[in-house]
Amino acid sequence: MRTTKISQLTAYWVLNKTFILFVLGLGIIVSILIKMNVHVWGRLSIRHLIALIGPYLISFTVFWLMIRLCWRQSSTIKIGILLVLVLWIGYSADFWYEYAYHWLPEKGVNFVGKITPRRLIQFNNRVFVGNTLVIVIAFIVQFLTHYLSFRTRFKRRSNALNTTIVSARLSDHFTRQWIKIVQDNKVLHRPETIHLLQYMIDIVANKKLKVAIAEEWMQLRVMASCFTDRTVLFEGEHLLASADWNRSIPAAALLSWFENALDHSPKGEKYIIWITWCRKDTKLQLQMRNTVATARSHGHSGTGTQMVQQLFDQLLPGNYKIEYINHANMFTVQLSFM
């Protein structure tokens, strides 16, 4: 019974976490207002309480919706939303002045004294503090909503990978290492990570042994975009014709090599991972080169590279040549198509 209730609560949280976090944000604002005005609550009627709390809750809702829209839209729309936000902050003092000193008194609600220069300064300060308060809480609520939603989707797709048989199609070593790298490097907030995991799931679901170079290359770029602690340079793409992009390679082969480079190279933007296409004697060739972090990892002779080699042996016998080149503190994977 207890397990069932926990499962039901978990399911309710997953489906309604945006609403729950929004209500929690409203609750935080109300609790702050109660604490700030606890000495006068007893003298205020329900109409006065609504008049006092209402503007904060409305502002929070508007700011949260604007931040939420800004979070999802294109750069142009984001700039427009930010301009509206700035304009509102600039003119909000005038709006709330009209609200508190003119509109409410006309409705028979008056909880502010006669305006004086000193009270006007205090009023403007309160508007500024109120705007800051609701913006910060709205941003926190949206950030938590986005982060927790991403974690839920990431976990769901990770579980899909972990529970699917991937032998002979996908390196279990790669998926474990990739998820570990994502978590260790704090890139869980990147939507590209979800797309890459979905690509891996699609490979398994469709039982793909081989994919076109173009498809794998696109996902390799997605993978590279998830990291800001390395510099990844892509070169020579213009050398490939349409027929080259349509050539087949084992699924996740390039991704496994790149994961290997991430795992064994030092962190820092000055450490570059080169991924270069070239032609040698009319033959297409791909080189992936990176600095080696430690002597222990020198050579990258781990499970990942062995699996990639086996996949090429099984799926493309005689159509390729793979070389692992050690030179000083650099390691190069060189794939040549015959």
Q: Are residues 192 and 157 in the same domain?
A: no
Q: What angle do CA 219, 223, 228 make, to 5 degrees?
A: 150
Q: Are residues 178 and 115 in the same domain?
A: no
* pTM of the full structure: 0.55
Gyration radius from the chain CA atoms:
29
Domain count, the chain: 2
Q: Are residues 305 and 272 in the same domain?
A: yes
| Relative orientation angle of helices 253-264 and 172-184, to the nearest 10 degrees | 40
Q: Are residues 56 and 194 in the same domain?
A: no
The contacts of residue 46 (CB under 8 Å, 6+ apart) are none
Last residue of a domain, one of 163, 185, 213: 163
CATH of the domain at 194: 3.30.565.10
pLDDT of residue 222: 84
Domain that residue 316 falls in: 166-337
Give the bridge partners for 186, in sequence order: none
Say which residue the tokens 């349409």 belong to: 242
pLDDT of residue 235: 92
> Which pair of tokens denotes residue 124?
């403007």
Three-state SS at 228: coil
Q: What angle do CA 102, 48, 113 make, to 5 degrees?
A: 50
Q: Are residues 153 and 170 in the same domain?
A: no
Total residue length of the chain: 338
The contacts of residue 193 (CB under 8 Å, 6+ apart) are 154, 182, 187, 226
The contacts of residue 295 (CB under 8 Å, 6+ apart) are none
| Dihedrals phi, psi of 337, to nearest 5 degrees | -95, 130
Q: Are residues 95 and 181 in the same domain?
A: no
* DSSP string over 102-135: IIHHHTT---S----HHHHHHHHHHHHHHHHHHH
* DSSP string over 236-300: -GGG--HHHHT-EEETTHHHHHHHHHHHHSPPSTTSEEEEEEEEETTEEEEEEEEE---STTTT-
Three-state SS at 209: coil
In which element (H, E) is residue 137 found? helix 117-162
Residues 220 and 255: beta-carbon distance below 8 Å: yes
Last residue of a domain, one of 142, 163, 184: 163
Give the bridge partners for 280, in sequence order: 283
Q: Are residues 226 and 274 in the same domain?
A: yes
Q: Are residues 90 and 234 in the same domain?
A: no
Alpha carbon distances (Å) from 91 to 109, 121, 298: 23, 15, 62
137 burial level (CB within 10 Å; 0-12, 13-18, 19+): buried
Q: Are residues 197 and 81 in the same domain?
A: no
pLDDT of residue 188: 55
Distance CA 198, CA 324 (A): 30
> What is the pLDDT tens value at each position of the chain, 338 positions in all?
455 555 555 555 556 777 777 778 777 777 777 776 665 566 666 777 777 777 778 878 888 888 777 776 667 777 777 787 777 777 777 777 777 777 777 777 776 667 777 777 777 777 777 778 888 888 888 788 777 777 777 777 666 555 444 334 444 566 666 777 777 766 656 677 777 777 777 776 666 778 899 988 988 888 888 777 788 899 999 888 888 899 988 888 888 888 888 878 887 778 889 999 998 888 889 999 988 876 444 444 456 677 777 778 877 888 888 888 887 788 888 898 87
Give the bridge partners for 332, in sequence order: 289, 325
Residues 37 and 52: beta-carbon distance below 8 Å: yes
Distance CA 151, CA 128 (A): 34
Q: Are residues 156 and 195 in the same domain?
A: no
| Relative orientation angle of helices 303-315 and 253-264, to the nearest 10 degrees | 160
Q: Are residues 212 and 329 in the same domain?
A: yes
Last residue of a domain, one of 163, 182, 206: 163
Nearest in space to 247 (alpha carbons), one of 276, 215, 269: 215
Q: Are residues 154 and 33 in the same domain?
A: yes
Sign of CA pseudo-dihedral 101, 104, 105, 106: positive
Say which residue the tokens 């209500």 belong to: 23
